[in-house]
Structure 1
């Protein structure tokens, strides 16, 4: 199921162009004409990310985001402000309200797409953090029994893992076969949506694999992950 993005902007042309671009990219988009309408849609659809203008009738972007942030369930929800207000004070106010990124109008849709992918990847990593175990999973001591864990992330035989580790070198992390497939496609510049389509997995599952790769390689973003993969010969 595609990730959902809420787009709030009172300008119809801007709202339509963003919606069309994101839907072509593979996201599900919920449009809103103002902050008041957008606030109700957040509660109803629980989007993965918000893109919002600041100057809107009925409820502006500042107030909209402030109210979103009062909901415990949405305190980590990524928010991008789009606006013609480019002064330092306006930017400071935006960050104080809880936005994660600030794009000045006019902007390039490709840049917006890159910012969205970066924030979604970071959010997936943060969301997974509480469930991480500080201790490594124990390896089976005999036979080809399988490692216990998440069926998508860790379901790989002991013998296959040992072969992968031996081929990667002593300083390389141990990756599952699925993680290596995701990493190879990620280095080609594919989004989570496209990687999921290629591997016949949901975007949410791809997010989990990417988060696991961040954790295992101690990377903070895709650029660092790709650089690590190239330096340690983790990709073909």
Structure 2
């Protein structure tokens, strides 16, 4: 039985990107759009690990973790990873005080997140069940993903693989925009990184939609993951 991971983020593209990657790595993934929805999922699914954003509508990540840790059977487990753009020292201290285990800033690298997830789950299983993570999680797909992702920066490798695997010709600038988009950056933040206006970034994103036959960021992320991870 695969270990269950709860992914909580109000951004659809981020949820799809994380869930696709984790599922290929051998985990069962359940998703929620905000902390309020996540509380119901926690009770129903009893996840082995939670990955959550902080800034979300209805209930933010801080309140979610506070309420989870307030429940007697969740005081220590499951482990919690904050995956967020809130990166100040004050934010991190508050997160740790509420009961998170790891604080990862956005934009993030999937290969690093994958390593953190496995490390936390190994400790979780050892402490709660007294045995290591089953070998079934070390699937061929997981080995393949790890091998590919360790060769270079994840987002750059993904954008390059689309050109090779799907015969899609992207310009150098489109590859840069795609790499930053996959890391969860908005058009404004991508523009800041590349010293371009948000309107110019919109044109590049529209070009990516056209070339990949997708209609929005979520579809583009899924298209990218499927074309990259299927090889």
The TM-score bracket by the shorter chain reads 0.5 to 0.7
The reply on whether 1:30 has 2:30 as its aligned counterpart is yes
Q: Going by fraction, where is helix more abundant, 1 or 2?
A: 2
Match of 1:113 in 2: 114
* Contact persistence 1:117–1:191 (CA under 8 A): no
Name segments (4+ residues, structure 1) moved above 4 Å: none
Match of 1:85 in 2: 86
TM-superposed deviation, 1:59: 0.2
TM-superposed deviation, 1:17: 0.1
Q: How many residues align?
A: 140
Higher RCO (CA-CA < 8 Å; seq separation 6+)? 2
The reply on whether 1:193 has 2:137 as its aligned counterpart is yes
Match of 1:70 in 2: 70
Secondary structure, in 3 states, of the residue corresponding to 1:102?
A: strand
Match of 2:7 in 1: 7
* Contact persistence 2:25–2:139 (CA under 8 A): no
TM-superposed deviation, 1:194: 1.7
Match of 1:96 in 2: 97
TM-superposed deviation, 1:96: 0.5
- Aligned ranges 1:217-236 → 2 under 5 Å: none
TM-score computed with the length of structure 1 as normaliser: 0.56
In the superposition, relative to structure 1, how do residues 120 and 70 fare at CA in structure 2: closer, same or farther (>3 Å)?
same
* Contact persistence 1:15–1:31 (CA under 8 A): yes
* Contact persistence 1:9–1:52 (CA under 8 A): yes
TM-score computed with the length of structure 2 as normaliser: 0.57
The alignment yields a C-alpha RMSD, in angstroms, of: 2.4
Secondary structure, in 3 states, of the residue corresponding to 2:86?
A: coil
In the superposition, relative to structure 1, how do residues 88 and 27 fare at CA in structure 2: closer, same or farther (>3 Å)?
same
Whose radius of gyration is greater, 1 or 2? 1
- Give me the whole-angstrom Cα distance separating, in 2, the residues matched to 1:118 and 1:68: 21
Match of 2:57 in 1: 57
TM-superposed deviation, 1:125: 2.1
